[in-house]
Copies of this chain bind each other. A is one copy, B any other.
Amino acid sequence: MKQLFFALALVAAPAIADPLPSWNDTAAKARIISFVDSVTDPKSDAYVTPAARIATFDNDGTLWAEQPVYFQLIYAVDQVAKMGAADPAILTSDALKAAAAKDYKALLATGKEGLVEVLRASHADMPLEQFHADVAAWLDEARHPTTGMRYDEMIYQPMLELLTYLRDQGFKTYIVSGGGIQFIRAFAEDAYGIPPEQVIGSSTTSRYEVIDGVPTIIKGGELFFVDDKAGKPVGIMHHIGRRPILAGGNSDGDFEMLEFSTAGDGARLGLIVHHTDAEREFAYDREGHIGVLNRGQDEADARGWVLIDMKNDWAKVFPKTAE
């Protein structure tokens, strides 16, 4: 009799397939599934209509890696190097010369102004379509300095499963990043299944011009919006116009987004990816230039946010590496 039940359980298994197979069976996974069950069950007090199932995720360090520096900065440096090789005359400053030499230390020494100069040279004053094509071409060629992987393969398998699971449960999934809105749009649909209209990020101004009869959007270089820290809830209400019920981030730059998203009525979920896995990815939190996480760690428990421990909660990190 016991064997029959066992056999039946095996047969029935596909019907209750695990939506998050790359997550270990720890509290983090249980909290996520319990939250999703509660807001999607029409009989639950916490039920949320599909239209209000908005989930927002940071990108760098939350959906893909961000070490040793933000990948978008690597793109900027690689582009300036490429442009400088074609025409050395454009390398008119220490910052541009440092970028062309891929000397990050010298580049960072030129300060914020130098960085802005390199970002502008690689991101501005070109048709938006060309920028998207340039980023796509770079993703095809560039490889990460320590893993040797494509940058768009350094995305987190457990987060891909979470995005798919949420969409299958009627959620609309958004990226809300301090990175460039158009940079992320160049790969978000292929990498994450997130269409361009569901990407929110920092941006520069742009303008409309008809060039030789062709209507064109020209990406400009003046700062338009900084989608970081308190800018994240502002960007969310500008683009989406309603409060998310789930938000995920990895650093204190996401604090206000999680605070805002988890403060509304009804069931809410805040997630923080904690980089604890030096072996399979990177381990960092309270110190450094990238992804600093202090307040989020200190207040997660009291606020009911789930701290995701990469090392213990994730069975797998990147889609293409062995487990």
Contact = CB atoms under 8 A, between A and B. Distances in A.
Given A197-B241, A237-B206, A238-B206, A215 B260 contact: yes
A214 B128 contact: no
B241 A196 contact: yes
Contacts of A185: 241
A242 B197 contact: yes
Given A210-B259, A234-B206, A240 B197 contact: yes
Contact of A215 (B189, B233, B238): B233
Contacts of A260: 208, 215, 217
A280 interface: no
Contacts of A234: 206-208, 217
Interface of A: 51, 128, 172, 181-182, 185, 189, 195-197, 199, 203, 206-208, 210, 214-215, 217, 230-231, 233-234, 237-242, 256, 259-260, 263
A248 to B, nearest CB: 17
Contact of A196 (B210, B233, B242): B242
Nearest to A186: B241
A237 B237 CA distance: 18
A252 to B, nearest CB: 14
A76 to B, nearest CB: 20
Nearest to A210: B259
Nearest to A205: B234
Contacts of A240: 196-197
B239 A208 contact: no
